[in-house]
């Protein structure tokens, strides 16, 4: 389910574009690096991208509902060409899909985030985690199942954030429940066909599947930690909400526990009041990450 134009408020359009742009830039960097090493990578990734596009608009039978629907396709792509390349491919695919009225131009950032980033990265993470402890078809199938479910949960969250900012958690749950009748059976179908497809490819042309040596250890560890911490925070918040929590956030606890004497009108607080908390936290995260990353090697040497 792609988000159409006209649904998201302008600030959310910009927000999702900004987040997706970071991943797209990283994806382009990785693709360029691989093209330099192996120029045949360009036609290979493009043609596989074309096939993934064809697969993602192909109707597959959906159990229970008796109808047919489109699969997400990005977990399968991530297993074959890697998650960062998948972000770039899915952005292009979503751009083309906007021109068959699936999705939209202004929602390209939001749809890239849900399908290309969340679907691909979490799917790939599940695949890598399960690959060594379960059969290949099962790990690929689970990657597709989790990737598909998380894609729709993210879409529901994007809708709730933009349309009902006053009751985000309630509407997130509501939109998620609204998607369940079609998306849960679809995720089951995606589990089955991705599992079978990867099994078939591994039996006929195993070299097609990405070996996963795209990053150095530092990048892999950093990304792994990012997804792990994000997953813990999201699951904790969701569980808290389900058990009746007031969702007041952790900033009050942090302020009281970690910095009880903090200045209440410091520049950070003023910035957050001016631009909104998410932007303030994003600025803090970007600054902290950039400084730490920049000096990481020299600190390690010392």
Q: How far is the CB of 103 from another protein (least distance, A)?
A: 9
Please provide the size of the chain in residues: 302
Pick out residues in 200-239 that bind another protein (CB under 8 A). Answer: 200-201, 204-205, 208
Please state, in angstroms and rounded to a whole number, the distance separating the CA atoms of residues 135 and 94.
31
φ, ψ at 121 (rounded to 5°): -70, -45
DSSP letter, residue 61: E
Work out which of 26, 92, 223, 283 binds another protein, going by CB under 8 A: 92
Report the SS3 class of residue 249: coil
With contact defined as beta carbons under 8 Å apart, do 117 and 28 qualify? no
**Residue among 226, 225, 194 at smallest CA distance from 76:** 194
Contacts with 192 (C-beta within 8 Å, 6 or more apart), sequence order: 141
Q: Quick check: 193 binds another protein (CB under 8 A)?
A: yes
Q: How far is the CB of 13 from another protein (least distance, A)?
A: 7
Q: How far is the CB of 134 from another protein (least distance, A)?
A: 18
Work out which of 17, 26, 69, 95 binds another protein, going by CB under 8 A: 95
Work out which of 19, 60, 237, 269 binds another protein, going by CB under 8 A: 60
Work out which of 18, 63, 165, 295 binds another protein, going by CB under 8 A: 63
Please state, in angstroms and rounded to a whole number, the distance separating the CA atoms of residues 164 and 88.
30
Q: How far is the CB of 87 from another protein (least distance, A)?
A: 11
**Residue among 20, 18, 19, 42 at smallest CA distance from 30:** 42
Q: Quick check: 26 binds another protein (CB under 8 A)?
A: no
Work out which of 67, 134, 167, 250 binds another protein, going by CB under 8 A: 167
- The count of chain residues that interact with another protein, using the rule CB under 8 A, is 73
Work out which of 74, 86, 90, 106 binds another protein, going by CB under 8 A: 106
Work out which of 26, 61, 138, 214 binds another protein, going by CB under 8 A: 61
């Amino acid at each position: 389910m792609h988000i159409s134009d006209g649904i998201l408020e302008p600030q959310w359009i910009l927000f999702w574009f900004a987040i997706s742009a970071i991943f797209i830039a990283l994806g382009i960097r990785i693709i360029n690096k691989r093209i330099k090493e192996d120029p045949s990578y360009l036609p290979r990734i493009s043609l596989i991208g074309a096939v993934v596009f064809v697969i993602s608009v192909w109707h597959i039978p959906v159990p229970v509902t008796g109808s047919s629907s489109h699969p997400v396709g990005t977990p399968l792509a991530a297993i074959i060409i890697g998650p960062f390349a998948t972000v770039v491919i899915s952005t292009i695919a979503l751009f083309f899909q906007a021109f068959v009225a699936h999705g939209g131009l202004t929602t390209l950032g939001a749809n890239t985030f849900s399908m290309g980033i969340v679907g691909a990265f979490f799917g790939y993470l599940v695949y890598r985690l399960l690959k060594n402890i379960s059969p290949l078809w099962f790990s690929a199938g689970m990657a597709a199942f989790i990737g598909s479910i998380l894609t729709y949960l993210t879409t529901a969250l994007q809708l709730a954030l933009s349309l009902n900012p006053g009751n985000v958690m309630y509407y997130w749950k509501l939109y998620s429940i609204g998607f369940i009748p079609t998306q849960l059976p679809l995720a089951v179908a995606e589990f089955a066909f991705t599992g079978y497809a990867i099994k078939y490819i591994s039996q006929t042309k195993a070299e097609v599947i990405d070996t996963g040596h795209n990053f150095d250890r530092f990048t892999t560890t950093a990304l792994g930690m990012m997804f792990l911490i994000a997953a813990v925070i999201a699951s904790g918040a969701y569980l808290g909400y389900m058990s009746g929590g007031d969702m007041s956030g952790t900033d009050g606890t942090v302020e009281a526990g970690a910095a009880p004497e903090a200045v209440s009108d410091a520049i950070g607080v003023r910035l957050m009041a001016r631009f909104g908390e998410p932007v303030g936290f994003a600025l803090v995260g970007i600054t902290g990450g950039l400084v730490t990353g920049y000096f990481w090697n020299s600190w390690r040497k010392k």
